[in-house]
Amino acid sequence: MDINIITLFPDMFQGIFAESILHRAIRRGLIEVRIIHLRPYGIGKHRVVDDTPYGGGGGMILKPEPIARALEDLPDKGHVVLTTPRGRLFRHTDAARLSAFDTLTIICGHYEGVDERVSELFVDEELSIGDYVLTGGELPAMVIVDAVARLIPGVLGRDTTISGDSHYEGILEYPHYTKPREFRGLAVPDVLLSGNHEQIEAWRKMMARKKTEETRPDLLGGFSQGKTCRSEGEDG
């Protein structure tokens, strides 16, 4: 998959693509990431990329021309996403859907917003990662890329499965335990030491539902009682 990220702050992306799973995926050629600095596409001698809003109001608005130039300079812009607080809430189903595109382009919103004509002319969808406002669209872009990339075949490796992830089947994940058997007075549940796989699966399903009821009861409508949660290795 080819991923293009258009941003005013390209240095923010150095760390995320230089470490861990995303770095390995890039090195293995499973994803290719291009960070496009918006400033060189700005207007005039000073490469202006923003201006005051028509109609008044506080803040600055990203101009349409620089973004259009950056997009049109790409060999293939593919599916275009704008990160913005007004966008539809980004969910696991969106990550799965986006992972099927050959090319994904993310425009990082900034300042007070982006000229509406950018969305009307170039953007396929607007996405938000939560009901809060950040200083810019760079962090949401990182979240979207991370969530999408790990669903691309081969990125997580052969020994890792995503089928038991929180949200994969509309429910949160069950608790995990490892050695030692007892830690500061808390012991690993006996059922996990029993070797009885049917009982272990039943316990995991019960605990997953309990955790969801406690913290995200809104998800329970999508939970299928017949599905089995499976564990996965840590992504890092």
Cα first-last separation, the chain:
21
Q: Taking CA 106 as the corner, what is the angle to CA 46 and CA 131, rounded to the nearest 5 degrees?
A: 105
How far CA 134 is from CA of 66, 67, 84, 138, in Å, comes to: 22, 20, 9, 9
Tell me the angle at which helices 20-27 and 138-149 cross, rounded to the nearest 10 degrees: 70
Distance (Å, whole) CA 91 – CA 156:
19
Could you say which of 85, 94, 124, 146 is catalytic?
Answer: 85
How far CA 17 is from CA of 3, 23, 125, 203, 230, in Å, comes to: 12, 5, 24, 37, 28
Q: What are phi and psi of 89, to 5 degrees?
A: -65, 125
Could you say which of 165, 169, 173, 204 is catalytic?
Answer: 165
181 is catalytic: no
**Residues 107, 82 contacting (CB under 8 angstroms):** yes
112 is catalytic: yes
Could you say which of 2, 65, 94, 112 is catalytic?
Answer: 112
The count of C-alpha atoms lying within 13 angstroms of the C-alpha of 43, restricted to the half-sphere facing its C-beta, is: 11
Residues marked active site are found at 85, 112, 150, 165
